Chains A and B, each alone.
Chain A
Amino acid sequence: MRRLLQACFAAVALLWVTHAESVGVAPVSGKPAAGAHKPEMTVTEADRSRWAFRPLAEVSVPDSGNPIDALLLEKGTPAPREASRRTQIRRLHLDLLGLPPTPEEVEAFERDTAPDAYERLVDRLLASRHYGERWARHWLDVARYADSDGYEGDRDRNEAWPYRDWVIRALNDDLPFNIFVQWQIAGDEIVPGNPDAVMATGFLAAGPSQETTPADTEENKLKIRYDELDDMVSTTASAFLGLTLGCARCHDHKFDPLPTRDYYRMAAVFSTSERRVASLSKPRRELDLWKEQQRAAHRESRMTELNLTEDQKFWLRQPEHFFVPIQLKLYKEFGERLKVDDAGLRAWLPESQLQVWDSLERAASKPAMASGLTGKSLIVMDHQAAPEPQYLLARGGVLNRKEPVSAGFIQVASRGKAPEAYRDEVALHDPLTSPQLAAVDDGGFTRPPTTYQRKALAAWLTDVDHGAGPLVARVIVNRVWQHHFGEGLVRTSNDFGSQGEAPTQPRLLEWLAGELVRGGWKLKPLHRQIVLSASYRAAATPSANSVRHPFRLESDALRDSMLAVSGQLNRKMFGPPFRPIIPKEAMATRSKDEYPANLQDGPELWRRSVYAFSKRSVPNPLLEVFDSPDSSSSCGRRNVTTVPTQALTLLNNEQVRKSAVQFAQRVITDAGLNPEAQIERAYRLALARTPTADERVRALQFLAAASDSRGDALPVEGLTDLCHVLFTLNEFIYVD
């Protein structure tokens, strides 16, 4: 039996090599494949001349003034009226940081009469660490990030968060967006010595994944693998290119020039890529390796105790997921008795070994890098150097292999440079010797053999001359614009194809994309340019031409704002996610890792929402009701619904009420027991302004009525209710 297995391995390996060779020379033909019903779609120059795919055009702008205003005004937009200073600072804080300004910040800004006051405010906010948290949340929507597998099993992913942290750090450090793209696709191939770059591949790993079980047929396993590839291909296309390439899995795209061939050539890029949980720090890796060796020794001794035969031992040494009936049987019989946890292992090891263990543990728990990463990360890596055979599947059927295809890119976004040229180029450069951006190399990560296919894709994606660079630039500047104004210049931010909408201001979009590239792909200068424009600083008006309308805070910003105003907000950054309290009646679902009940409320749970554990099968109702995306696929633009269940949440949710209680306590601490002073303070904390005379009177009446009706009531109850009311106001929930 053992020999049979070894023979199988050899045969499979041989097969790989043979296929790899044949794939290398397989001609890519534009002619219809044999047996096809319809002729294959061909991509024409006319397709390439669509606005989304054209090379970046020069857009002339006047020498003076903010070009954004000049370009917006071109279409006859009247010069906008500037919003009040209070509106401007509140808008900027919520927009750039996702948190409201403190009364002191508002006051300082209102007092600052220097002509560059606003500009300095912008620079201060862009330098804030909270900027990365705010804008990472936008990107994590696009990256369909979550902390669990999804599907029925929905196992927890306790190693996903390093990617989330990387996004926050990358944005705070203003990592150029082209590098930001490249690392997420192929950081492990580009700068293998830089844990940050490797961690970035968590982007590819972030999608839902389905476990295979022994009961799955070969076809099912293949289907699950293709679904995994589909997730990578579709998300890459949506996130960076704004294209619905996933549609081309079964047929040429019905509306866009995206042949099925493009889909499978993109899939081929990822065909050797796999999710891995890896230690990116050397001491941690040493510890893991050492523990693995001790476990193996423990297993050997246990197997000897159990008098197992050599054959039985062989099978039990194989990784458990290797599904062979005899192995399953043995595992069922002995598996439990061979397992050992850390405590068991410690009890078994001699004293001298325990000392080794402890010293390794100490070394591993020291943050080894800028990232502070001490544990493991969910990443994606190739498992071999030879490209795996990949096929064009007829109508998406996993067994319907039509013809082999090699890795390639989207034709409509390519100009005169073949995928092979990119691959040859990137493979020539040894990333270990001259990485431009190699940061700390702690030698922690040794890259296994790799195909460099993803690195070629990364190069193509960010190639402005021959590749998808212009499209990638347009897509990201549109996302940035969307979050600043509530709506993109292309309203369908994840679809730049013909089913999406055309840009409302094509010249502005073009200019912004050009600026991004000219400025070295830095996002912060882009934000700066946008928020300094008169169009951004304008008051929201009902005019149809106005680009500013009040828009609702996203679920995360709303929760974070309540925590900030109440004074609860725990500003601790990074690290493992906290698990928010989810009421039992909201959890009637089963997964292999149950969501914990009986969680204790406390400061750890008052961290920003971007650090909340996001379990795909148990969405946090507080965020879900305000339209948080479900992270099953890339979300470029959240829904904005207005439903009574949101009102019920703000009125009755336990967390909201607790925040109101804390808010009132804070007001008393800050302003004492004088009702007028309390009202003043509460307004300034929640709404960044003082109450009007009328509002003051109403609030006083409200407080008086509260104590009247209670007789001996404590004044704090009325104040708590008033603070709670402020949380329910449209003025609090919307950015104007």
Chain B
Amino acid sequence: MSTEANPSSCRFPCGRVDAVARNRRDFLKKVGAGFGSVALLDLLAGEGLLGATGGGAPVLAHHAPTAKSVIWLFMEGGPSAMDTFDPKPELARHDGQQPKLPIDVFFGSAGPLMKSPFEFRRHGESGTWVCDRMPHIARHVDDLALIRSCYAESPSHGPAMYQMNTGLIRTGFPSVGAWLSYGLGSQNRNLPGFVVLQNSKGSKGGANNWGSGFLPSEFQATPFRSKGAPILNLNRPPDITDERQRRMLDLAANLNRGHAAAFPGESELLGRIESYELAYRMQTDATEAVDFSKETNLTKELYGLNQEITRPYGEKCLLARRLVERGVRFVQAYCDDEWDSHNGLKDQHSRRMMETDQPVAALLTDLKQRGLLDETLVIWGGEFGRMPVSEKGDGRDHNPHGFLVWMAGGGIRGGVHHGESDEIGWKAAVNPVSVHDLHATILHCLGLDHERLTYLHNGRRFRLTDVEGEVIRSILA
């Protein structure tokens, strides 16, 4: 992929290769080294025609990628770093004392410093500290890279969610998953390239968190339902055969193309045409993808599907694995209950950890045993962290100044730490990492240069990382 391509020959202003507009030979000529070519050749061999690819065709990466897909375990609400993976002895030492500097809490009143209610132990060869409420993830620490110095720009859930997902605290910008779908296309013509497994209570900020912003609408996420069946209407009406439905779709596609021709530049109309083809193929493939019946009991137990408390997130983690296994590029799995512990942090965080610890660890184990961890970037984190001082006696307020995100899998060096927050865990202190830096790193692992993945909109070449962002090299394998 090249930003130097002549935009006039492409549908995409960044110069992204538009496979639909090119013949197969031209396209193959562009295919060079890297996984993209392998995946692409496989796809071409298997499917023949490129033009029908739903969600865009795969294109060349800027450099050799280290991951094919992303699973983002989104801990919505803001998990506390000092109560999970980043213990702060100074907090324990000064528990109950007023902080030296006034702490800018968001809600309620700033209380005194509050030590973690949890015990920590070192684990693995890396000797990484983990809270004793996460015994399962603790066994994987040598695969994790902890980024302990993250910071964001908003102390408010909505804007912070937007920033973590799109880079900016305002709405209207494409999400990471949309940028990746736009840049790399889908690896599977029969499933959406970008899937969101939703928070059953609804995420703060809603669909804007996984929208395509000004990118063509085909790149937005397909949200799966969080209650009941993940996708409805996968079965054809009983009276319609496959043959009949295919004929209906062909007629509709033909008529729709005629209609769209009258409105050049309306990408939504084109996106909807694509969505029918994808929907048609999803009837078979998505039905199979969301069906757990072929999973062994052992696997189901591994993810905790046999226990009330772990089942909801366990199902999402298992579904995430099944989706990336089938070529879905980007899966976000939002936890059902938020980490937003303004009071009773001990109880609330304990519960969140009990709900997610085993499923998350199971995902890492499972990906590894299937050889998928090397090509899947796993991200764990929320939209911000929590304050070192107490709120309402036993809770913690939002803290965008210093929080923790970990990554694992494709291209990530395990057992390392990057950056530090200050001694009480308030602000990022050593090697601060912005949200743009996180995004740059994600794109890098997928073989994309965040400075070169651009889209011309309103006369400006926009990118996911705005005008900032540096890849966190120290955590790369």
- Give the contacts of B239-282 with A (CB-CB under 8 A): 239-240, 243-245, 247-249, 251-252, 254-256, 258-260, 263-266, 268-269, 271-273, 275-276, 278-280, 282
Instruction: Name the contact of B222 in the complex, choosing from A552, A644, A709, A729 (C-beta under 8 A).
Output: A644
Which residues of chain A come closer than 8 Å to B237, judged between CB atoms? 652, 654, 657
Is the C-beta of A120 less than 8 angstroms from some C-beta in chain B?
no
- Nearest-CB distance from A494 to chain B (Å)? 12
Is the C-beta of B105 less than 8 angstroms from some C-beta in chain A?
yes
Which residues of chain A come closer than 8 Å to B233, judged between CB atoms? 645, 648-649, 651-653
Most central of B269, B278, B392 by chain A CB within 10 Å: B269
- Give the contacts of A591-647 with B (CB-CB under 8 A): 621, 625, 627, 630, 632, 639-647
Cβ B202 vs Cβ A702 within 8 A: no
Question: How long is the Cα–Cα vector from A724 to B220 in the complex, in angstroms?
Answer: 26
- Give the contacts of A316-348 with B (CB-CB under 8 A): none
Cβ B106 vs Cβ A251 within 8 A: yes
The interface stretch among A64-72, A110-118, A506-514, A580-588 is A580-588
- Nearest-CB distance from B162 to chain A (Å)? 12
A contact patch SS: helix
* Given A642-B220, A651-B236, A733-B272: A698 and B106 interface contact (C-beta under 8 Å): no
Is the C-beta of A40 less than 8 angstroms from some C-beta in chain B?
no
Cβ B276 vs Cβ A585 within 8 A: no
Which residues of chain B come closer than 8 Å to A589, judged between CB atoms? 227-228
Question: How long is the Cα–Cα vector from A318 to B179 in the complex, in angstroms?
Answer: 62
Cβ A736 vs Cβ B207 within 8 A: no
Residue of A nearest to B208 (CB): A639
Cβ B259 vs Cβ A587 within 8 A: no
Is the C-beta of B229 less than 8 angstroms from some C-beta in chain A?
yes
Cβ B217 vs Cβ A651 within 8 A: no
- Nearest-CB distance from A693 to chain B (Å)? 12
Which residues of chain A come closer than 8 Å to B276, judged between CB atoms? 644, 647, 651, 728
* Given A585-B228, A586-B228: A250 and B108 interface contact (C-beta under 8 Å): yes
Cβ A397 vs Cβ B227 within 8 A: no
Most central of B109, B156, B192, B280 by chain A CB within 10 Å: B109
- Nearest-CB distance from B56 to chain A (Å)? 13
Question: How long is the Cα–Cα vector from A587 to B264 in the complex, in angstroms?
Answer: 40
Which residues of chain B come closer than 8 Å to A648, judged between CB atoms? 231-234, 279, 282-283
Residue of A nearest to B107 (CB): A250
**A649-661 contact mask (Cβ, 8 Å, vs B): 1 or 0:** 1011110010000
Is the C-beta of A49 less than 8 angstroms from some C-beta in chain B?
no
Question: How long is the Cα–Cα vector from A588 to B259 in the complex, in angstroms?
Answer: 39
Question: How long is the Cα–Cα vector from A396 to B234 in the complex, in angstroms?
Answer: 46
Residue of A nearest to B211 (CB): A641
Cβ A395 vs Cβ B107 within 8 A: yes
Is the C-beta of B225 less than 8 angstroms from some C-beta in chain A?
yes
Cβ A540 vs Cβ B263 within 8 A: yes
Question: How long is the Cα–Cα vector from A721 to B252 in the complex, in angstroms?
Answer: 11
* Given A644-B275, A705-B247, A721-B248: A37 and B102 interface contact (C-beta under 8 Å): yes
Which residues of chain A come closer than 8 Å to B235, judged between CB atoms? 652
Cβ A588 vs Cβ B268 within 8 A: no
Residue of B nearest to A657 (CB): B237
Count contacts on A: residues with CB < 8 A to the other chain: 63
Cβ B232 vs Cβ A621 within 8 A: yes
Is the C-beta of B218 less than 8 angstroms from some C-beta in chain A?
yes
Instruction: Name the contact of A647 in the complex, choosing from B221, B243, B244, B275 (C-beta under 8 A).
Output: B275
- Give the contacts of A683-729 with B (CB-CB under 8 A): 694-695, 698-699, 702, 705-706, 709, 717, 721-722, 724-725, 728-729
- Nearest-CB distance from B362 to chain A (Å)? 22
Residue of A nearest to B271 (CB): A642
Cβ A702 vs Cβ B109 within 8 A: no
Which residues of chain B come closer than 8 Å to A586, judged between CB atoms? 225, 227-229, 232
Question: How long is the Cα–Cα vector from A274 to B218 in the complex, in angstroms?
Answer: 46
Cβ B275 vs Cβ A643 within 8 A: yes
Cβ A588 vs Cβ B228 within 8 A: yes
Cβ B222 vs Cβ A645 within 8 A: yes
Cβ B228 vs Cβ A642 within 8 A: no
Residue of A nearest to B250 (CB): A702
- Nearest-CB distance from A219 to chain B (Å)? 9
Which residues of chain B come closer than 8 Å to A651, judged between CB atoms? 233, 236, 245, 248-249, 276, 279-280
Question: How long is the Cα–Cα vector from A141 to B109 in the complex, in angstroms?
Answer: 34
Is the C-beta of A416 less than 8 angstroms from some C-beta in chain B?
no
* Given A639-B206, A643-B222, A643-B223: A729 and B109 interface contact (C-beta under 8 Å): no
Most central of A587, A652, A702 by chain B CB within 10 Å: A652
Which residues of chain A come closer than 8 Å to B170, judged between CB atoms? 499
* Given A644-B282, A652-B236, A705-B247: A550 and B102 interface contact (C-beta under 8 Å): no
- Nearest-CB distance from B159 to chain A (Å)? 9
Cβ A641 vs Cβ B217 within 8 A: yes
Cβ B234 vs Cβ A652 within 8 A: yes
Which residues of chain B come closer than 8 Å to A671, judged between CB atoms? none
Count contacts on B: residues with CB < 8 A to the other chain: 65
Residue of B nearest to A658 (CB): B237
Instruction: Name the contact of A542 in the complex, choosing from B227, B265, B278 (C-beta under 8 A).
Output: B265
- Give the contacts of A213-255 with B (CB-CB under 8 A): 247, 250-251
**A465-481 contact mask (Cβ, 8 Å, vs B): 1 or 0:** 00000000000000000
Instruction: Name the contact of B247 in the complex, choosing from A251, A646, A706, A734 (C-beta under 8 A).
Output: A706
Is the C-beta of A549 less than 8 angstroms from some C-beta in chain B?
yes
Instruction: Name the contact of B248 in the complex, choosing from A250, A540, A542, A724 (C-beta under 8 A).
Output: A724
- Give the contacts of B174-232 with A (CB-CB under 8 A): 192, 202, 206-208, 211, 217-218, 220-223, 225, 227-229, 231-232
Question: How long is the Cα–Cα vector from A144 to B468 in the complex, in angstroms?
Answer: 39
Cβ A730 vs Cβ B108 within 8 A: no
- Nearest-CB distance from A202 to chain B (Å)? 24
Cβ B109 vs Cβ A397 within 8 A: yes
Which residues of chain B come closer than 8 Å to A706, judged between CB atoms? 244, 247
Which residues of chain A come closer than 8 Å to B255, judged between CB atoms? 695, 698, 725, 729, 731
Cβ A728 vs Cβ B252 within 8 A: yes
Residue of B nearest to A621 (CB): B232
- Nearest-CB distance from A330 to chain B (Å)? 32
Question: How long is the Cα–Cα vector from A540 to B259 in the complex, in angstroms?
Answer: 12
Question: How long is the Cα–Cα vector from A627 to B211 in the complex, in angstroms?
Answer: 13
Which residues of chain B come closer than 8 Å to A550, judged between CB atoms? 263, 266, 268-269
Which residues of chain A come closer than 8 Å to B105, judged between CB atoms? 395
Question: How long is the Cα–Cα vector from A653 to B220 in the complex, in angstroms?
Answer: 22
Cβ B247 vs Cβ A649 within 8 A: no
* Given A589-B227, A702-B251: A736 and B263 interface contact (C-beta under 8 Å): yes
- Nearest-CB distance from A319 to chain B (Å)? 30
Residue of A nearest to B240 (CB): A721
Cβ B248 vs Cβ A640 within 8 A: no
**B139-150 contact mask (Cβ, 8 Å, vs A): 1 or 0:** 000000000000
Question: How long is the Cα–Cα vector from A648 to B237 in the complex, in angstroms?
Answer: 11
Most central of B107, B221, B232 by chain A CB within 10 Å: B232
* Given A725-B252, A730-B256, A730-B259: A649 and B280 interface contact (C-beta under 8 Å): no
Is the C-beta of A394 less than 8 angstroms from some C-beta in chain B?
yes
Cβ A627 vs Cβ B207 within 8 A: yes
Is the C-beta of A400 less than 8 angstroms from some C-beta in chain B?
yes
Question: How long is the Cα–Cα vector from A652 to B276 in the complex, in angstroms?
Answer: 11
Cβ A642 vs Cβ B218 within 8 A: yes
- Nearest-CB distance from A652 to chain B (Å)? 4
Question: How long is the Cα–Cα vector from A201 to B211 in the complex, in angstroms?
Answer: 36
9 residue pairs of the A-B complex, CB under 8 angstroms, read A395-B107, A542-B264, A640-B268, A649-B233, A698-B251, A702-B247, A725-B251, A731-B255, A733-B272
- Excluding A648-B283, A730-B256, 9 further A-B contacts by CB distance (< 8 Å) are A397-B392, A400-B109, A589-B227, A642-B220, A643-B192, A643-B222, A657-B237, A695-B255, A730-B273
Q: Which B residues form the contact surface with A (CB < 8 A)? A: 54, 102, 105-109, 156, 170, 192, 202, 206-208, 211, 217-218, 220-223, 225, 227-229, 231-237, 239-240, 243-245, 247-249, 251-252, 254-256, 258-260, 263-266, 268-269, 271-273, 275-276, 278-280, 282-283, 392
Across the A-B interface, give the 4 residue pairs with the lowest CB-CB distance, nearest first: A647-B279, A588-B228, A585-B229, A652-B233
